[in-house]
Structure 1
Amino acid sequence: MRHQGPLILGAGPAGCACAIVLARAGARPLLLDRHADAGDALCGGFLSWRSARQLQALDLSPEALGAHRVTRLRLFAGRRRADAPLPAPAWGLSRYALDNALRQRALAAGADLAVEHVREVERLMARGRRDWQGSALLLATGKHDVRGLPRPRTASDPALGLRLRLSPSATLSRELTGMIELHLFKGGYAGIVLQEDGTANICLAVRKSLLAGAGGSPARLLEQLARQHRNFGDRLEAGWQAAPLDSVGSVPYRFIARETVPGLFRLGDQAAVIPSLAGEGMGIALASGQLAAQHLLGGGAAAAPAYQTALARAACPPLAVAAAARALAENPLVQPLALAAVHIVPGLAELLMARTRIALPHLSCA
């Protein structure tokens, strides 16, 4: 099916941010997504201060969406603990709430949505139940690759993503109000933050070898981590085994798309994958969507290579810092020293957090 405007594969944060900017400028973007309604995607649940400003540029406010305000970071490594203020308030917000709000804003601005499971892309044509072709193709499928446009995976021990959502409780509310926690393990880490509905979102990034050591069972791995790390175990309240446990395999952290062909724009995780401990995945998604739309509006399909180069240049520094932080965070020999440094050097954690934010001069989110 021929569409006169641009095609956007994926109606998540990156795709919808792009669609909003395009639609406001009079373009008629078509979002292709496998689901008619936005679900609660595995990755996300945290908006940094920079991500919040990018969201505000789309006339959406975390506060208006009921997001949980976060002002401090708490680090755990074994029995050690360190606390640090965030450079500016951040937010805990579920992907269900965020994606639905962005999707509604995109449709209200004039974008269209078609339910389609795109199986592959061939010569800028998206193939599903129908063949779709538009004036440009914007790939915003998140962690999931589309056949024909794979991202390289070369890690010998790749990262896996796990997500658990815990029901609201008085204990979790008392311990996590205003806080995001980062629990460090050998070969992985877990981030915990309250969401707008009072649930606690627990996202883990672990090496495949760590999961293999638990017999390939995510639930068994969580049980092992809870026994080995008391502070993490304290967050897994009785009955957590009944909660759904979602997973995604082989996440290509530190991937950056540096080149593309005219007409093909890579957005979000299809453009740059930052280690999740940085908490900047949503920032890259929102920033890349807006930047791609600006390039497309200014230079048409031919502007795709310039866009990809600009995004790669902006993403490279924060990804490098986040990758180094991830390597340190997963090393049990370094973890105690890192937590001690946070205590001894005021502002060190804030500096590292600031260095993992993506900054694009063309966007009003400085």
Structure 2
Amino acid sequence: MRSADPLILGAGPAGCAAAIALAQGGASPLLLDRRAAVGDPLCGGFMSWRTLAQLEAIGVQLDDLGGHRVDELRLFASGNDASVPLPQPALGLSRHALDSRLREAALAAGARLEVDTIRALSPGVALGQRQDWQADSLLLATGKHDVRGQSRPRASDDPALGLRLRLPASPTRDTLLGGAIELHLFDGGYVGIVLQEGGSANACMAVRKSVLARCDGDPAALVARLGEDSPALAARLGSDWQQAGIETIGAVPYGHIARQTEAGVFRLGDQAAVIPSLAGEGMAIAVASGTLAARHWLDGGADAAQAYQRAFAARASRPIRLATLGWHLAESRLGGRAGVALARLAPGIVRQFAEMARIPATASLARR
């Protein structure tokens, strides 16, 4: 039977934000996810001040989850470093904690949850392993995982790869990382490190495929080499990083923006726009896209998909463009040095850049 209510593919931040806003508006959305248990995805452990504000606008609070308050950005490159106060406080919080809270809020608001793996999409139908799910409106919120037939373009000859180490709590890391998020820049990529709940540290890396290839494709060899090149990074990694395990994701299409879509298909989160992780705005992109898609659907139903996609693409354009520029500068040796020097000499410019690389907060994103 075809559903008149939206079918949301993916119960991550984008999908759950959409479900919450839809349910608050009187709809009965169905969330469809691959897993019944909430995982801990590789990317998104930094909640910017814009993310926190957008979550608050849909009634989601994170204050009681033990996240690590972040007030400062620290940059490291070629043996030099600098620190800049953030425009507003942010939060280091695992995706497991965030996604769990959002899923709870979505179900409490009135959304439903089913578990299935979607094999492909056809007009108005999500083809699952358990069954086929029919709906007039499909909200595609599958994160960095593409559904067959809906792949985003990956044109780069040397794509960016994502790697993550989840480092255990330690007094040394607590002292070194307290109150800050750090970016360690190197030729061909960067490592971002932030403390999260329980004192653990999330170390996420964006690196060019060619850089990993020079280490014979071995992520552990790459991390070891980076630690040898940077005493500051080695101190953060400590002597226990090899026991943490390294998770990877390939060919991340940073800079992608979906400017159009098929009838009835709303593209959310990383399916709508992929901001370089250096900006720390991925979760705000997810929540903003989910909320805006819900607003458009509540106003116009399935026919509003194209208008939503154009509106969100326009909203995401500036932060994506600025973050992509910052990423390209940061992954070059000269650009990394220049970034640290700029942070020392003109920290106000870096703070302004950090503010401008946020997804705009507008009245259309506020709760009705």
Asked if the contact 2:119–2:147 (Cα under 8 Å) also holds between the matched residues in 1, the reply is yes
Q: Which residue of 2 aligns with 1:36?
A: 36
Contact 1:187 1:210 in 2 (8 A): yes
Secondary structure of 2:190's counterpart equals strand
Deviation at 1:240, TM superposition (A): 1.3
- Output aligned runs, 1:157-172, within 5 Å: 157-172=158-173
Tell me by how many angstroms 1:232 deviates. 0.9
Distance 2:19 2:335 in 1: 43
Distance in 2, Cα, partners of 1:353 & 1:70: 14
Question: What displacement does 1:64 show?
Answer: 2.3
Q: SS of the counterpart of 1:347?
A: helix
Distance 2:187 2:124 in 1: 42
Q: C-alpha separation between the residues in 2 aligned to 1:154 and 1:197?
A: 40
Q: Which amino acid aligns with 1:281?
A: G
Distance in 2 between the 1:52 and 1:132 partners?
A: 33
Q: Identity of paired residues, percent? A: 56
Q: Distance in 2 between the 1:176 and 1:72 partners?
A: 10
Aligned residue number for residue 317 of structure 2:
316
- Match of residue 184 from structure 1: 185
Tell me if the contact between 1:69 and 1:92 (Cα under 8 Å) persists in the aligned partners.
yes
Asked if 1:210 corresponds to 2:211, the answer is yes
Corresponding residue for 1:363? Answer: 365
Secondary structure of the structure 1 residue equivalent to 2:334: coil
Q: Per-residue deviation at 1:25? A: 1.6
Aligned length in residues: 365
Asked whether the equivalents of residues 296 and 305 of structure 2 are also in contact (C-alpha less than 8 Å), the reply is: yes
Query: Which secondary structure state, in structure 2, belongs to the residue aligned with residue 89 of structure 1?
Result: strand
| The 10-residue stretch of structure 1 (355-364 or 218-227) with the greater mean CA deviation from structure 2 | 355-364
Which position in structure 1 is the counterpart of 2:250?
A: 249
Find the counterpart in structure 1 of residue 352 from structure 2: 351
Provide the residue aligned with 2:69 in structure 1: 69
Maintained 8 Å contact 1:159/1:252? yes
Q: Which amino acid aligns with 2:302?
A: A
Supply the AA of the counterpart residue of 2:180. Answer: M
Match runs of 1:276-295 below 5 Å: 276-295=277-296
Alignment pair present for 1:25 and 2:25? yes
Instruction: Please report how far the alpha carbon of residue 104 of structure 1 lies from its aligned counterpart in structure 2 after TM superposition.
Output: 0.4
1:314 touches 1:360 (CA, 8 Å); kept in 2?
no
Give 3-state SS (helix, strand or coil) of 1:341's partner. Answer: helix
Amino acid at match of 1:164: L
Partner of 2:220: 219
Equivalent runs, 1:4-23 vs 2, <5 Å: 4-23=4-23
Q: Which runs of 4+ in 1 moved over 2 A?
A: 1-4
Could you tell me which runs of 5 or more consecutive residues in structure 2 were left unpaired when the two chains were aligned: none
C-alpha contact 1:138 1:265 (8 A) present in aligned 2: yes
Query: Structure 1-normalised TM-score?
Result: 0.98
* Residue 119 (structure 1) shift: 1.1
Q: Quick check: 1:6–1:138 contact (8 Å CA) kept in 2?
A: yes
RMSD of aligned Cα (Å): 1.1
- Structure 2 counterpart of 1:338, which letter? G
Partner in structure 2 of residue 132 of structure 1: 133
Given that 1:165 and 1:202 are in contact with CA atoms closer than 8 Å, whether structure 2 keeps it comes out as: yes
What's the counterpart of residue 51 of structure 1? 51
Return the letter of the residue paired with 1:189. Answer: Y
TM-score w.r.t. the length of structure 2 is: 0.97
Tell me the secondary structure at the aligned position of residue 204 of structure 1: strand
Structure 1, residues 91-140: CA drift from partner, whole Å, max 9, x if none?
A: 00100000000000000111000000001111231111211111300000
2:242 aligned counterpart, secondary structure: helix
> Is the 1:68–1:91 Cα contact (8 Å) retained in structure 2?
yes
**Structure 2 counterparts to residues 103-142 of structure 1, below 5 A:** 103-129=103-129, 130-142=131-143
For the Cα contact (< 8 Å) 1:22–1:297, is it kept in 2? yes
**What is the rounded CA distance, in whole Å, between the counterparts of 1:92 and 1:360 in structure 2?**
21
User: 1:360 and 1:4 mapped to 2: Cα distance?
Assistant: 30
How far has the Cα of 1:196 moved from its partner? 1.2
Shift of 1:360: 4.4
* Structure richer in helix, relative to its length: 2
Q: Give the Cα–Cα distance (whole angstroms) in 2 for the partners of residues 251 and 304 of structure 1.
A: 25
Cα separation, 2, equivalents of 1:338 and 1:178: 21
Change (3 A) 1:234 1:152: same
CA distance in structure 1 between the partners assigned to 2:324 and 2:44 by the alignment: 18
Do the aligned partners of 2:58 and 2:366 also contact (CA within 8 Å) in 1? no
Secondary structure of 1:120's counterpart equals strand
Structure 1 window deviating more from structure 2 (253-262 vs 122-131): it is 122-131
Deviation at 1:58, TM superposition (A): 2.0
The range that moved more, 63-72 or 82-91, is 63-72
Structure 2 counterpart SS, 1:162: strand
Q: Distance in 1 between matches of 2:192 and 2:50?
A: 18
* 3-state DSSP of counterpart to 2:143: coil
Which deviates the most, 307-316 or 236-245? 236-245
Structure 1 residue runs without a partner (length 5+): none
- Deviation, structure 1 residue 23: 1.0
Superposed displacement of residue 340, structure 1: 1.2
